[in-house]
Amino acid sequence: MKIFVATHNAHKLREISQILPGLEVAADDPEGVEETAPDFVGNAFIKVRAIAARHPGAWCMADDSGLEVDALDGAPGVRSARYAGEPSDSARNNALLLKNLEGASDRSAHFTCAIALIAPDGTEHLAVGRCFGKIALSPSGAGGFGYDPLFLPEGFATSFAELSADAKNAISHRGRALAEVRRILGGRQSA
Ligand code: IMP
């Protein structure tokens, strides 16, 4: 079974193939499509609808994810990639996050990953995964990407950036959303 994924990111495509073995995964870049929704679910559907129009009768999916910090009223949220401005820069985003949390007693945060799917018959499906934790006082670890060096997942003394890819996938927002995608596709393998 083939599925089109709305991304230009080879790393994301590889990760999806690893978590969804047996699927033929093909990228289709939704370039130029504006992510104007106020939340991850809305943006995931904007992207998947854009590519599904080009692949009638095929499975299509798109994801949108980011970090929400309680003490910052859910920021960075849908602006996670560009929290410190354009172009997207993880080191600057992390520095701004630490600055905005200076003196905060509550450092609770969670990642969300929303994956929108369109089936060959046109029906729409949604898988959402979350991972709760806290923002560290300083970065640690060299793995992962984005806010990983600052995110301490619940039940762990280490940051996401200190976990192996497999260990992170087992508990991450993306890993959890993709596990749900596997359940959705498992029941409907056609086309
Ligand atoms: P995307 O929607 O998956 O491209 O993610 C948007 C932004 O959210 C990324 O650029 C990162 O800043 C942040 N983000 C999403 N997932 C993760 C993660 O697993 N670790 C760290 N940062 C993440």
Instruction: Give the pLDDT confidence of 84-106 residue by residue, as tens digits.
Output: 999 999 999 999 999 999 999 99
Calculate mean pLDDT across residues 25-45. 95
Grade residue 190 by pLDDT with cuts at 50, 70 and 90.
Answer: very low
Beta bridge partners of 132: 110
Q: Containing H/E element for 12?
A: helix 10-19
Q: Is the CB of 132 under 6 A from ligand 1?
A: no
Beta bridge partners of 158: none
Q: Is the CB of 139 under 6 A from ligand 1?
A: no
CA of 121 to the centre of ligand 1 (A): 30
Q: Is the CB of 148 under 6 A from ligand 1?
A: yes
The beta-strand segments (E) located in the chain are 2-5, 24-27, 59-69, 108-118, 124-135, 151-153
How far is it, in rounded angstroms, from Cα 49 to Cα 76? Answer: 25
Grade residue 23 by pLDDT with cuts at 50, 70 and 90.
Answer: confident
What domains lie within the chain, and their CATH numbers? Answer: 2-190 (3.90.950.10)
CA of 90 to the centre of ligand 1 (A): 10
Burial of 182 per CB tally in 10 Å (0-12, 13-18, 19+)? middle
CA of 148 to the centre of ligand 1 (A): 9
What percentage of the chain has pLDDT greater than the value 90? 83
Q: Which residue has the tokens 């929704």?
A: 37
Question: Helix 10-19 vs helix 173-186: angle between axes, to the nearest 10 degrees?
Answer: 60
Please report the pLDDT score of residue 187 as a whole number. 63
Q: Is the CB of 111 under 6 A from ligand 1?
A: yes
Q: Is 148 a catalytic residue?
A: no
How far is it, in rounded angstroms, from Cα 176 to Cα 191? Answer: 25
pLDDT in tens, 5-19: 999 888 788 878 878
* Catalytic pick among 28, 63, 64, 148: 64
Q: What is the pTM of this model?
A: 0.94
How far, in Å, are 67, 148, 180, 190 from residue 186 at the CA level? 29, 30, 10, 10
